[in-house]
A and B are shown apart, each in its own frame.
Chain A
Amino acid sequence: MEIIMKIDGLSAYYDGKIAVDSVSLEIPKNRISAIIGPSGCGKSTLLRCMNRMIEEEMDTKVEGSVYLEGKDIASIPKDELRRKIGMVFQSPAPFPFSIYKNMTYAPKYYGIRGKDRLNALVIEKLKMAGLYDEVKDELNKSALKLSGGQQQRLCIARTLSIEPDVLLLDEPCSALDLGSTAAIEKMLTDLKELYTIVIVTHNLAQAKRIGDYTAFLYNGKLIEWAPKDSFFSSPSKEETKAFLSGMYG
């Protein structure tokens, strides 16, 4: 098993209050790692530390290190880092442009020019996100007119447009209905051939369905980190057992 990211003694604070408490974790390449835990346990914060998005928020502090392919991410320029580690948020927020412009926004920033090249990229990534067939005739339609599930898939396609190595997803399905959730889960399973996926979810069944590895976070601490099968069938820690049996969450 090849390790793509390594989190080493990571702590994060909001307003001086600890949200992630010395977490160490290794993310395997081309696998889906699911991070679960009750709300407020620091899952999203942990994710935000992995592409330094936490630095965009106010009054935050981070200790410890995160390595991407052996390199400390603090030493990688932010745009380069985020080009390698894409992120999808909980509620989809397309830019107030057309679908096409949403897709070319970031590639243009990275200097990709030429209509043919951009067209090919847009089509390829929309297909990957399973959205192309639904929108192929109306790429100039405003992205805000899409349904919630379509918007989320557009946001995933937009993240793929920068061709990252790692895809971070922060509860991508929590605002979506069952059908859209199933579509996204299928897509993620297909995508893991090409990308390393880290997904935060409070949906245990989802972690079980699509995850290869599962991390359980509680009160900012990493309680357990194991391959899915052993995590769900024979958890080693009392807290994990309690969480899995539905005692809190």
Chain B
Amino acid sequence: MHTRARITKAWAYISFTLTVAVIAFLFIYVFTSGFSVISWQFITDVPRGSVLGSEGGIWPAIVGSVWFTLTALILGGIPAVATAVYVVYCCRSSWFEKFIHTIMQSIAGIPSIVLGLFSYSLLVRTLGFGRCILSGGIALAIMILPFIETRTEKAMRELPKETIFESYALGCSRLYTILHIVFPAIKGELVSGLILGGCFAMGATAPLIFTGGVAFASVPNTVMEPAMALPLHLYLLLAQGTSMPQAYGTAFVLMLIVLVTNIIATFYSRRKKRRWK
């Protein structure tokens, strides 16, 4: 028994070290390789060069990514939170609840390229939206919907049921209860779920390829225009062999944005959680 416990312990330590090492290596490698091209100009300039992107900067891609992410968050976040509210507080049939969960899992299981294809055939072609931020944003919204829904639902289920019932027993409506008790109580987790969902959307490439992401565009003004996006720009730089340093620089910026927002989300939800306990 002693040796077995020791082996298990050693195994756990090795796995832990390995995981941390891989992540650390990835970050350090991208950061050191990309650091050389990073400059104020790289961030604020448009792509230039004889082969577009070999010189210049990535400003339109940064702005484009923010547009795509915000569109996805608005279009995906609202139905996700609404679904969670419905499942936890309105649904009176366990059968229907299971049905919704199955659908959420199915959506989560759809490969993102298929979502891109769906958005392309329905929105870009059939409905005539054309390649634009909205078409891409809807594909991303579908992708992050189950992620946000699951997190929101989990946070809501962790609230004591009694507290909610007490509010109902006072005659207060569901809406009043949700607005005055549920949302304040899960604010931290709700916001962090949305931010993490946004990070998830920001890093996705496949849903954008046919739908709204393009190799070059100026900074967009409306959601009906196509735009550049960081991961897609990175993909194109690599796929066409345009410039390795530029690609690492792009990856650096993308990872930095995702990392910083992740850290903000984590701290925000922790701070809020502590306040409520």
Contact = CB atoms under 8 A, between A and B. Distances in A.
A82 B162 contact: no
Contacts of A155: 166
A59 B165 CA distance: 16
Given A105-B180, A109-B176, A87 B160 contact: no
B93 A79 contact: no
B163 interface: yes
A242 interface: no
Secondary structure class of chain B's binding surface, majority of residues: helix
Interface centre among A51, A55, A106 (most CB of B within 10 A): A106
B246 to A, nearest CB: 51
Interface residues of A, number: 28
Interface string A71-111: 00000001111110011010101111000000001100110
B93 A95 contact: no
B185 A96 contact: yes
Given A59-B93, A79-B172, A89 B185 contact: no
A58 interface: yes
Interface string B189-219: 0000000000000000000000000000000
Interface residues of B, number: 20
**Most chain A beta-carbon contacts within 10 A, residue among B93, B169, B276:** B169
B156 to A, nearest CB: 14
Contacts of A59: 92-94
B166 A109 contact: no
A146 interface: no
Contacts of A55: 92
Nearest to B169: A87
Among B160, B172, B185: residue with most chain A CB under 10 A: B172
Given A89-B165, A95-B163, A109 B92 contact: no
B22 interface: no
Given A58-B94, A59-B93, A96-B276, A91 B170 contact: no
B168 A95 contact: no
B171 A78 contact: yes
Contacts of A177: none
B181 interface: yes
> Which among A55, A89, A109, A159 has the greatest number of chain B C-beta atoms within 10 A?
A109
Contacts of B168: 53, 56, 82
Contact of A51 (B94, B169, B172, B176): B169
B158 to A, nearest CB: 13
A147 to B, nearest CB: 17
B26 to A, nearest CB: 40
A155 B168 CA distance: 13
Nearest to A83: B171
B167 interface: yes
A20 interface: no
A123 B90 CA distance: 35
Contacts of A35: none
Contact of B167 (A81, A83, A86, A95): A95
A107 B172 CA distance: 10
Given A58-B94, A95-B163, A89 B181 contact: no
A162 interface: yes
A62 to B, nearest CB: 13
A158 interface: yes
Interface of A: 51, 53, 55-56, 58-59, 78-83, 86-87, 89, 91, 93-96, 105-106, 109-110, 155, 158-159, 162
5 contacts: A58-B92, A79-B171, A81-B171, A94-B163, A159-B170
Q: Which 7 A-B pairs have the closest CB atoms?
A: A82-B171, A93-B162, A79-B171, A106-B170, A87-B169, A83-B171, A93-B163
